[in-house]
Structure 1
Amino acid sequence: MQKLHEFAPDAALPTVLDIEASGFGRGSYPIEIGLARADGSVCAFLVQPLDEWTHWDPKAELLHGISRDQLMREGHPVRQVAHWLNDELSAIGKAYSDSWGYDNTWLSLLFHHAGMVPRFRLEALRILLSESQQALWSDTKEAIITAEPIQRHRAGDDARLLQLTYQRTRGACA
């Protein structure tokens, strides 16, 4: 996994969670879950699809570049990923997502099939943003994409991109 440029944190960064999925419609499921931790470190896990998870959108695969065969070979079992998320996030109690509606649905599906309850909340990243940050968000995010070695539409890198965008917009508005 690539390590993105780290900035000296002037305050704790929010923990950001991002999920890549088999598609966006009915029947889609999580295929990769990534976290950008408060210290700026990043981790991500591929999720091995369950037998009943058959939906596959070739357009989504073009975006994230993850094949179903790769998930079968390299993915981790659903229960293992749910345990990992609880281990990572239960102490802080929450993580943030820029696509809360989708990510929360996929997270709920993962935990349901794992037979577990999440010990953390997923919240919308936008609740942390001031109006000034929101105004700078798109341009700042695009500048980071241009300057950093970010593999777009991969969960860990996308989570870190959001975290860096949060940090830079916060710094610009301070």
Structure 2
Amino acid sequence: MNCPALIDFEASCLPEYGQSFPIEVAVARTDGDSRAWLIRPVEAWKHWDWSPEAEKLHGISRAMLEQEGLPPEQVVAELSNFVHDCNVYADADLDQYWLELLCHAAGTTPPFPVRFLGEFMKKRGYSRPQVVTALEEAKRRLPKEHLAREDAKRLAMVVKLLLDEPPRGLSY
């Protein structure tokens, strides 16, 4: 298994539209393996906000969550097992919030911290041009956005490109 792992959540609404809850989570590792889970809303979230704008972006409906979503306890257990001992990174601080919210619904504490991907890149000394080049290449290869699995896979690809094949002509 190659680490780190990259996590991404989709939520019931965009932050500017109100109080959102997690509806999908995905994790991708730099070895190319990824998993995604639809999350069945818990009773406490039934009256939280839902926006048509967010649904249009990610394509996940309330009915889909009720039919195909998994209970938060199962999602957290499988997520934790998949991540195992990898450090987990995200490109937004909201992902840590949604992990905490998911774990609260599952009656547990987060099994791992979600670190900011920028910290990883800064710690390793990547330049902005290197990161931009890797991101552009990952977007070219995986252009779909606002789908948790695709977003997590694209972030993992950015990290893999930086770790394994740094862009040519750019110095550390």
Place the TM-score, normalised by the shorter chain, in its bin.
0.7 to 0.9
Query: What amino acid is aligned across from residue 12 of structure 2 in structure 1?
Result: S
Aligned runs of 1:32-111 on 2, under 5 Å? 32-53=24-45, 54-89=48-83, 91-92=84-85, 94-99=87-92, 101-111=93-103
Provide the secondary structure at the position in 1 that maps to 2:19: coil
Asked if 1:120 is matched to 2:112, the reply is: yes
Cα offsets for 1:13-66 (capped at 9, x unmatched): 421111111123342011110010242211100111123323101111121111
CA distance in 1, matches of 2:138, 2:115: 23
1:112 positional shift: 0.7
CA distance in 1, matches of 2:82, 2:33: 12
Q: Is contact 1:45-1:75 (8 Å) kept?
A: yes
Partner of 1:152: 145
Query: What amino acid is aligned across from residue 22 of structure 2 in structure 1?
Result: P
CA distance in 2, matches of 1:37, 1:142: 19
In structure 2, runs of 5+ residues without a counterpart are none
Partner of 1:4: none
Asked if 1:19 is matched to 2:12, the reply is: no
1:139 positional shift: 4.3
Q: 2:20 aligns with which of 21, 24, 28?
A: 28
**How many residue pairs get matched?**
161
Cα offsets for 1:116-149 (capped at 9, x unmatched): 1222221111111145443333343233323x25
Provide the secondary structure at the position in 2 that maps to 1:119: coil
- Tell me the TM-score normalised to structure 1 length: 0.81
Give RMSD over aligned pairs: 2.2
In the TM superposition, structure 1's runs of 4+ consecutive aligned residues that sit over 4 Å from their partners are none
- Tell me the TM-score normalised to structure 2 length: 0.82
Asked if 1:143 is matched to 2:137, the reply is: yes
In structure 1, runs of 5+ residues without a counterpart are 1-8
Q: Is contact 2:5-2:86 (8 Å) kept?
A: no
